[in-house]
Structure 1
Amino acid sequence: MMKAYLKAISYYLPPQGLGNEKINEMFPEWSADKISSKTGIYNRYIADETTFSSDLGVYAAKKLFAEHQISPGEIDYILFCTQSPDYFLPTTACLVQERLGIPISAGALDFNLGCSGYIYGLSLAKGLISSGDASNVLLITAETYSKFIHPRDKSNRTIFGDAASATLISATEGLAEIGKTVVGTDGSGAENLIVKRGGMRFPKDTDEKVSVDEYGNSRNENYLLMNGSEIFNFTSEMVPGLVDNTISKNQLTKDEVDLFVFHQANKFMLNHLRKKISIPEEKFFYFLQHCGNTVSSTIPIALYHAIKENKFLGNVLLAGFGVGYSWGATVLTVTK
């Protein structure tokens, strides 16, 4: 069976920053220091009203091509992970193919996943390459969650930022071989992280009735609703087993994992998981302080910086978890 390799990663952040000082101006009861101490986030980037997921994805892919001397003509499959597509149809990946000048012989599809999306994308790309159906897969993650957040929802506004990443997965040897993947799904948690209105089942509510929760966050079913305590409980219960199963499936021991890169949800959750799983701090990578929780892009952004900091060595375990509920993990074995 043909092996699949991660060859290169780049990412793109919109130019407009939203720092904690600005959020403090919007919500005076939340100081900048309080926000950073609770979340580990100091800044996040927000797409403007004319910029959408396809735009972010195209910018990220163009950076990938430029930084790593990749020709669009080499790409024979596009996987585009987003929960904030430009349209219901056509597929955003089709728009991206045309804008990037990728050959019309390439396959292109969207898949709708959040914080586990990058892991699923690596698994799908590996499957395409292992089967011989593709040789060079462009995996793009792109989200504009800020467009889902109510202007007066201070909790979600402090956490989420917009971003896109682009990764080349190839049949030819690259940075790291993609190992075996463990995934899981529990749709019973769907209501705990949801944009309820705007699809076919529940059209957008033009009345926009707003309620205020016990923490002072404005809530409306047209916008992102997150039950933070339930998401925390799910993550705390599921991720330790996910890590153990992934290590076992890849025939490793925990000591043989050199770096752990988790979905960068928030600093509190990451610290809780690190301690619960007994991961040494020097083996656990953080990168969310400058861009926040960018959903499916957090892992590739963190990987990009781990590579830059020469921490991308040996066996690297990736784990994503969140909306769905959905979770997944894999191991990258560094070859260069």
Structure 2
Amino acid sequence: MSFSHLHGFKVAGVSTCVPPNRVDNLEAGKDFGAVEVRKVVSMAGVRHRHVVTPDVTAVDLCTDAARRLLNTLGWAPESVTGLIMVTQSPDYFLPSSSCVVHARLGLGDQCAAFDVGLGCSGYPYGLYLAATMLRGGGHQRILVLHGETPSLFIDPQDQATSLLFGDAGSATALEHTGDAQDEAWFSLFTDGSGADSLIIKGGAFRDPRPADPRDLRLRMDGASVFNFTIKRVPALINDTLAYAGLQVADIDSYIFHQSNRFIMKHLIKKCELPEDRVPFILEDMGNCGGPSVPLTLTRSLAQRGDQPMRLMLLGYGVGLSWGATIMTLHPDTPLLHHTYQAPGAPSPRSPL
């Protein structure tokens, strides 16, 4: 069954990280023509994006986010017994990115570390895996890292993707509590028949050296992705609410994967969601893939009130894959956001 109800754990903290290089789409897209670029920016909702330099990867962003989160929580590295790295932007085919991060964070050898190769839906999937590990016993603290650098695999000549995607890394700490009131609901789905809708055809073992160099870049069938989204996401929201025995008004904030403003506005209207409960960060962050979900958390809810908040977290896209999580965010849960700083680089407040 695609629905699960798990309890006895909580999200202890979330940390997100973006590269310092901020791109203005109106300037970056000038070769496409000023009028056309303004149309794309208006529809997609992306004015600025943060993109990495070629020497920075998703592993770097996630490691930085995780290190800051561990320091804030006061968690000793050896107390973490699980590390899940969700990414489709790995440093290497092998070893796994989780092993690279494991070493950088100085985690102990009693820590289970593995990668999950999911994109836009990866955050609810990662939370589900961590929750099942905590629920199964033997684990007290788990890190879920989710990072992507789509700017490195888009075609600069494709205005549909080059003006849309930004880069980000995240770290989410989950902790066993044993309290039945710390609960979450999960719904996870897949339709692999739509795999070609978002794909990089070349570069891996199926076609390591493609004849067409464009096959080393992301190809997106925008119409298919739009149709998939408006078909699957409303049902995802309604069915997850029904499974949890909740109504639309019972959710304090709907944290969407920041896919595209036009698509998100369509979903809000179709699902009759209160607009003030659906935060947008697209304008200054772009579509960062799956990490856009934790990024929306830290960017929109850091200055929240002193009461628990019930959230619905929504991921959907490449795969095709989609999923949702309903969970409670406690008022004392730290939500951190910062700009990536390369190891050894001077602090922004330090003299150059």
Q: Taking structure 1 as the reference length, what is the TM-score of the superposition?
A: 0.91
Which stretch shows the higher mean deviation, 319-328 or 18-27? 18-27
Distance 1:49 1:29 in 2: 27
Q: CA deviation at 1:47?
A: 1.3
Tell me how large the CA RMSD over aligned residues is: 2.0
Q: In the alignment, which of 199, 208, 217 is matched to residue 203 of structure 1?
A: 208
Distance 1:75 1:194 in 2: 34
In structure 2, relative to structure 1, the CA distance for the partners of 1:313 and 1:32 (3 Å cut) is: farther
What is the correspondence of 1:1-336 to structure 2 with a 5 Å cutoff?
Answer: 3-30=8-35, 33-172=38-177, 177-205=182-210, 208=213, 220-310=214-304, 313-336=308-331
Q: Match of 1:28, as an amino acid?
A: G
In structure 2, relative to structure 1, the CA distance for the partners of 1:303 and 1:177 (3 Å cut) is: farther
Q: Equivalent residue for 2:348?
A: none
Which SS does the other structure have where 1:118 is aligned?
helix
Which SS does the other structure have where 1:170 is aligned?
strand
Q: Equivalent residue for 2:349?
A: none
Q: CA deviation at 1:24?
A: 3.0
Q: CA deviation at 1:261?
A: 1.0
Which SS does the other structure have where 2:316 is aligned?
strand
Distance 2:199 2:63 in 1: 26
Which stretch shows the higher mean deviation, 67-76 or 140-149? 67-76
Residues 25-80 of structure 1 deviation map (CA, whole Å, 9 limit, x = unaligned): 34334566434311111111111111122111111112212343333222111000
| Unaligned runs of at least 5 residues, structure 1 | 209-219
Which SS does the other structure have where 1:62 is aligned?
helix
Q: Tell me if the contact between 2:11 and 2:329 (Cα under 8 Å) persists in the aligned partners.
A: no
Q: Match of 1:188, as an amino acid?
A: S
Q: Tell me if the contact between 1:148 and 1:222 (Cα under 8 Å) persists in the aligned partners.
A: yes
Distance 2:114 2:184 in 1: 23
Q: CA deviation at 1:170?
A: 0.7
In structure 2, relative to structure 1, the CA distance for the partners of 1:45 and 1:205 (3 Å cut) is: same
Q: CA deviation at 1:270?
A: 0.6
In structure 2, relative to structure 1, the CA distance for the partners of 1:46 and 1:314 (3 Å cut) is: closer
Q: CA deviation at 1:2?
A: 5.6
How many residues of Structure 1 are paired with residues of Structure 2 in the alignment?
324
| Unaligned runs of at least 5 residues, structure 2 | 1-5, 332-352
Residues 146-199 of structure 1 deviation map (CA, whole Å, 9 limit, x = unaligned): 11111212210111111101110111389x945110111000000010001111
Q: Match of 1:61, as an amino acid?
A: A
Q: Tell me if the contact between 1:140 and 1:164 (Cα under 8 Å) persists in the aligned partners.
A: yes
Q: Tell me if the contact between 1:92 and 1:110 (Cα under 8 Å) persists in the aligned partners.
A: yes
Q: Match of 1:240, as an amino acid?
A: P
Distance 1:193 1:239 in 2: 17
Distance 1:126 1:321 in 2: 20
In structure 2, relative to structure 1, the CA distance for the partners of 1:173 and 1:13 (3 Å cut) is: farther
Which SS does the other structure have where 1:289 is aligned?
helix
Q: Tell me if the contact between 2:19 and 2:167 (Cα under 8 Å) persists in the aligned partners.
A: yes
Residues 66-101 of structure 1 deviation map (CA, whole Å, 9 limit, x = unaligned): 343333222111000000111111011001000111
Overall identity of the aligned pairs, in %: 35
Q: Taking structure 2 as the reference length, what is the TM-score of the superposition?
A: 0.87
In structure 2, relative to structure 1, the CA distance for the partners of 1:26 and 1:135 (3 Å cut) is: farther
